[in-house]
């Protein structure tokens, strides 16, 4: 197995862009362990583990600042992150399984030319709504956090800087 990766290799391996990896380095979230003599970033296996933690926490909806805080405080171990991902996926599977069961039930009724009841449709709609709402709420939370960060950034950029006094 390769022991070091350059930034382009890491980008190809992970599906992230070089720009994203540079940004993570710039904000102090994810920096390479080594540099070549010419200054190129070199990442090792422990860097890959940290990147997995970052991406896992990001997938769970944490902002980059929250992720940085979590990782610097060592509040969550890599095993805990993996377990959080497992639990999240299991929850998604349950919602999808319930929706699948409702769709199969309605399909069987339609194939048998049976009359669908209001309860059949409402059960199906509720399963669809639960699945959809969960996704919408997760995305909305992430967008709200990102908009808050953007607002904070823009507020800092537009604030007039104090003029230096001439002496």
From first to last of the 167 residues of the chain, give the pLDDT tens digit: 558 899 999 999 888 999 999 999 999 999 999 999 999 999 999 999 899 889 988 887 777 887 888 888 766 677 777 787 788 788 889 888 988 888 888 888 888 877 777 787 777 777 777 766 666 666 666 565 555 555 555 555 555 555 554 44
Q: Distance between CA atoms of 151 and 144, rounded to whole angstroms?
A: 10
What ranges make up the beta strands (E) of 55-166?
Answer: none
């Amino acid at each position: 197995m390769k022991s070091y990766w350059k930034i382009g290799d890491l980008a190809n391996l992970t599906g992230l862009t070089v720009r994203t990896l540079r940004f993570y380095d710039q904000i102090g979230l994810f920096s390479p362990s080594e540099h070549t003599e010419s200054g190129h970033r070199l990442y090792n296996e422990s860097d890959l583990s940290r990147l997995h933690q970052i991406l896992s926490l990001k997938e769970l909806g944490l902002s980059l600042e929250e992720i940085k805080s979590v990782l610097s405080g060592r509040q969550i171990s890599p095993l805990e992150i993996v377990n959080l991902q497992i639990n999240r996926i299991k929850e998604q599977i349950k919602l999808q399984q319930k929706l699948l069961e409702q769709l199969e039930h309605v399909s069987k009724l339609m194939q048998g030319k049976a009359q669908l009841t209001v309860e059949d449709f409402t059960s199906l709609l509720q399963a669809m709504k639960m699945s959809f709402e969960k996704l919408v709420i997760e995305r909305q939370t992430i967008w709200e956090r990102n908009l808050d960060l953007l607002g904070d950034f823009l507020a800092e950029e537009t604030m007039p800087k104090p003029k230096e006094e001439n002496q």
